[in-house]
Amino acid sequence: MWKNILLFLSLSGLVGHHASPITKLYHHVDQKMSWPDAQRYCREQFHDLATIDNLEDLERLQASRKGSDYDIDSAWIGLYDDRTRWQWSYGNQDYKTGQDYDNWAGNEPNNLDAEQNCTVIMQKTGEWSDRSCSNLAGPVCINAAGNYIYVQEEMTWYKARKYCVSHHTELAIVRDATENSKIYALMKRTAWIGLHRNPWSHWSDGSRTTYLNWETGQPINLGGKQNCAAMNFRTAGYRDKNCQDLYYVACQELQKQRSTFRIKISTEADMTNPEVQRQFVEQLSAKMAKEGVAGVQLHLVVKDGQDQQTEMALSAAVFTVELLREQARAQRLLLFRLWGQKFRAPKLFSLADL
């Protein structure tokens, strides 16, 4: 009987509700520090370094900056290019430099001119180097049997990938020194493998970047060492900087949002029973996790339902489930009111804002 309850719980409306914008409050710290220190400071005092998801955020952050140095100030924002984060095109497998096998040459990957996010095996040494994806090189493909095929014809990384996908399986994946030697033995010239990455793809709080307002000509990765970004308050544009440089800081605080949903449940189960409540919370949590609402804590608060106003005849109890998501990006507080009621036949849940 109890199982039926969650069967009828549709969270689609709820998930849609989660897409509603989170209110971010920007805070400016008039103290210069390095990007890692700035991140630590913002995380301790607020939520994280400032993230900017759209033009509205950008304008709000720029406008919220007040002070005598307004015209020349730059401040760290939560933009950081994690150069250890790569991906194999083969199976879209994540790859992390320092954890997974690599054969990077001396100072590689160096992201020269801020435009190298594809990888070759170099003909001279068999070592890896990051290159601009629009450079020309022959592909090394992998086929269904796991064999490598070197193709001499030179093309961009994107064409190389297409070539491998249509003629074999994918661009080569290299998981250990043996595989690297196998490939190297086939090569006549420097060749593409499937390792690539998306620069500036994430904010400091782990969310994906969707909107980047670089100043013209930026990022440039001067000296190969610029993988943190600061915002120039005069132009509202970003520049890549050495993470150890000292700048003012833009932090953000996430405002709690409260949404209230009313769920009518149809059940023969006794919602006043603590064991039933425990199961309900458990199953609702599992359902939420399955719907991609991570890091949610559910609390069930039982209240006396006598004074609740509703068009329906209430049974003895009103259940309040509070969903707390502390310190998470999509921080919000959801309040579920569950009217425990005995229906003859199972009825659907309705999720609607109160």
Ligand X SMILES: *[C@@H]1O[C@H](CO)[C@@H](O)[C@H](O)[C@H]1NC(C)=O
Binding of residue 190 to Ca ion (CB under 5 A): no
Contact at 8 Å (CB) between 227 and 241? no
Give the E-state strand segments of 10-108 in sequence order: 24-33, 48-49, 74-80, 85-88, 94-96
Q: Which residue's entry shows tokens 């070197």? A: 150
Q: What angle do CA 233, 75, 62 make, to 5 degrees?
A: 35
Chosen residue from 42, 133, 141, 265 binding ligand X by CB under 6 A: 133
Chosen residue from 4, 93, 110, 283 binding Ca ion by CB under 5 A: 110
Work out what residue 277 binds among Ca ion, ligand X, none; the CB cut-off runs from 5 to 8 Å by kind: none
Binding of residue 132 to Ca ion (CB under 5 A): no
Peptide bond preceding 346 in cis form (omega within 30 of 0)? no
Work out what residue 133 binds among Ca ion, ligand X, none; the CB cut-off runs from 5 to 8 Å by kind: ligand X
Binding of residue 198 to ligand X (CB under 6 A): yes
> 344 CB contacts (<8 Å, ≥6 apart)?
none
The 10 Å Cβ neighbour count of residue 73 is 19
Binding of residue 199 to ligand X (CB under 6 A): yes
Give the strand pairing for 116-121 and 138-142. Answer: unpaired
Binding of residue 130 to Ca ion (CB under 5 A): yes
Residue 118 Cβ, how far from ligand X at the closest point, in Å? 5
Tell me whether residue 241 or residue 325 sits nearer to ligand X (CB atom): 241
Distance in angstroms (rounded) separating the CA atoms of residues 233 and 73: 6
Contact at 8 Å (CB) between 223 and 113? no
Where on the phi/psi map is residue 110: left (φ > 0), alpha (ψ -120 to 50), or beta?
A: alpha
Chosen residue from 28, 65, 168, 196 binding ligand X by CB under 6 A: 196
Q: Which residue's entry shows tokens 């990938």? A: 161
Q: Which residue is at the shortest CB distance from Ca ion?
A: 130
Work out what residue 168 binds among ligand X, Ca ion, none; the CB cut-off runs from 5 to 8 Å by kind: none
Site string (101-120) toward ligand X, x via CB under 6 A: ----------------xx--
Work out what residue 169 binds among Ca ion, ligand X, none; the CB cut-off runs from 5 to 8 Å by kind: none
Binding of residue 47 to ligand X (CB under 6 A): no
Tell me whether residue 171 or residue 321 sits nearer to Ca ion (CB atom): 171
Residues that bind ligand X (CB under 6 A): 117-118, 133, 157, 196-199
Residues that bind Ca ion (CB under 5 A): 110, 112, 116, 129-130
